[in-house]
A and B are shown apart, each in its own frame.
Chain A
């Protein structure tokens, strides 16, 4: 995957050179090892700042809206699905963006890698599927496929669904026998154990809203948690308020979430926020045969009415 950065830089330089786009949104090296941050490049001189590797776990579709002039974006499979969602939801027009598609082989789980080390990680290198991670006391060689984020290991849309140009050859899509083993594990529990699972999941939440801010589909001008009149939910650390935030945010994502994992990537407390949204992804797939962001011509299921919609929940 690291080899495609040359192609990305060449394509981006060409676009900026010809004046076809105002900016290129991509990833830049982070300030600490094993991290990247989003960046907007406006001139050819900055092109070397662009990087692409297995730590680019955020979703760049979050940054393409409300820009003046045409924007180019580096898009993995999930980013491209969120661009499709943006277009369907009228957040951006197709001709306002130029999509540099990057077929993806998954991003790494930074918490999982960090847990292998007693001290801080100082270096992270990758070559193909081999990761070389060092701390001050030791160096470990890891197989990337063993350290993928859970959403990446369960991903069935690694190739961009919409693009103007590709920065690498398409990769083979995974075929999964069961795409929702994580949801099934929770569903198998009894109601009290499920409640306990979610209570434990959110107990470290500090209400920083990094999950919401990293989420490309959380673009409401005023989020329900920030609203003061009426105040829908308490703003403190009260457990019920914390749970209400997570529950409602997840429900707002029903039928729109692409399971890009940006929420989990952004969480400083290592909370698997996806435990909420995954259930809704499973439900929309089972009830509506729907996966978000695959088709420019279809509205999300909760946004459209069909006489065939399941309605056994209502009396």
Chain B
């Protein structure tokens, strides 16, 4: 799915996949931090955004 999104022009760092157990608090923090940094670096998403107006 990530590959097809990337193929359509959605940046690879925009979509992340992870498996985190409820007991893995530190992994959760690490993953969220990494995702936040990568997405912030990309800036706001303009693709696949529905304009309701």
Question: Given the complex of chains A and B, what is the CA–CA distance between A250 and B8 in angstroms?
Answer: 12
Which chain B residues in 12-26 approach chain A with CB under 8 Å? 16-19
Q: Does B41 contact A (CB under 8 A)?
A: no
Residues of the A chain whose Cβ atoms lie less than 8 Å from the Cβ of B49? 240
Instruction: Tell me if A247 and B8 are in contact (CB < 8 A).
Output: yes
Residues of the B chain whose Cβ atoms lie less than 8 Å from the Cβ of A238? 50-51
Question: Given the complex of chains A and B, what is the CA–CA distance between A244 and B8 in angstroms?
Answer: 11
Q: Which of B7, B17, B51 contacts A314 (CB 8 A)?
A: B17
Instruction: Tell me if B2 and A191 are in contact (CB < 8 A).
Output: no
Interface size range on A against B: 20 to 34
With A198-B9, A240-B48, A240-B51 known to touch, is A313 a contact of B4 (CB < 8 Å)? no
Q: Which of A7-15, A89-97, A165-173, A275-283 contacts B (4 or more CB under 8 A)?
A: A275-283
Instruction: Tell me if B47 and A314 are in contact (CB < 8 A).
Output: no
Looking at B1, B8, B19, B50, the one whose CB has the most chain A CB atoms below 10 A away is: B8
Question: Given the complex of chains A and B, what is the CA–CA distance between A283 and B6 in angstroms?
Answer: 12
Instruction: Tell me if A192 and B9 are in contact (CB < 8 A).
Output: yes
Question: Given the complex of chains A and B, what is the CA–CA distance between A97 and B3 in angstroms?
Answer: 37
Distance (Å) between the CB of A157 and the closest chain B CB?
23
With A240-B51, A243-B48 known to touch, is A315 a contact of B18 (CB < 8 Å)? yes
Instruction: Tell me if B7 and A279 are in contact (CB < 8 A).
Output: yes
With A193-B9, A234-B50 known to touch, is A276 a contact of B4 (CB < 8 Å)? yes
Instruction: Tell me if B10 and A191 are in contact (CB < 8 A).
Output: yes
Question: Given the complex of chains A and B, what is the CA–CA distance between A247 and B34 in angstroms?
Answer: 27
Instruction: Tell me if A196 and B18 are in contact (CB < 8 A).
Output: no
Question: Given the complex of chains A and B, what is the CA–CA distance between A240 and B3 in angstroms?
Answer: 19
Instruction: Tell me if A196 and B4 are in contact (CB < 8 A).
Output: no
Question: Given the complex of chains A and B, what is the CA–CA distance between A198 and B7 in angstroms?
Answer: 9
With A187-B7, A247-B4, A276-B4 known to touch, is A195 a contact of B47 (CB < 8 Å)? yes
Chain A 99-121: CB-based contact to B (< 8 A → 1; otherwise 0): 00000000000000000000000
Q: Does A194 contact B (CB under 8 A)?
A: yes
Q: Does A126 contact B (CB under 8 A)?
A: no
Instruction: Tell me if A251 and B4 are in contact (CB < 8 A).
Output: yes
Name which residue of chain B comes closest to A286, CB basis.
B3
Q: Which of B2, B8, B17, B31 contacts A194 (CB 8 A)?
A: B8
Residues of the A chain whose Cβ atoms lie less than 8 Å from the Cβ of B11? 191
With A238-B50, A240-B49, A240-B51 known to touch, is A314 a contact of B19 (CB < 8 Å)? yes
Instruction: Tell me if B7 and A315 are in contact (CB < 8 A).
Output: no
Question: Given the complex of chains A and B, what is the CA–CA distance between A47 and B34 in angstroms?
Answer: 66
Residues of the A chain whose Cβ atoms lie less than 8 Å from the Cβ of B3? 279-280, 283, 313
With A247-B4, A315-B18 known to touch, is A197 a contact of B31 (CB < 8 Å)? no
What are 7 sample pairs from A and B whose C-beta atoms fall under 8 A apart?
A194-B9, A195-B10, A247-B8, A250-B4, A279-B7, A280-B3, A283-B3
- Using a CB–CB cutoff of 8 Å, the interface residues on chain A facing chain B are 183, 186-187, 191-198, 234, 238, 240-241, 243-244, 247, 250-251, 254, 276, 279-280, 283, 313-315
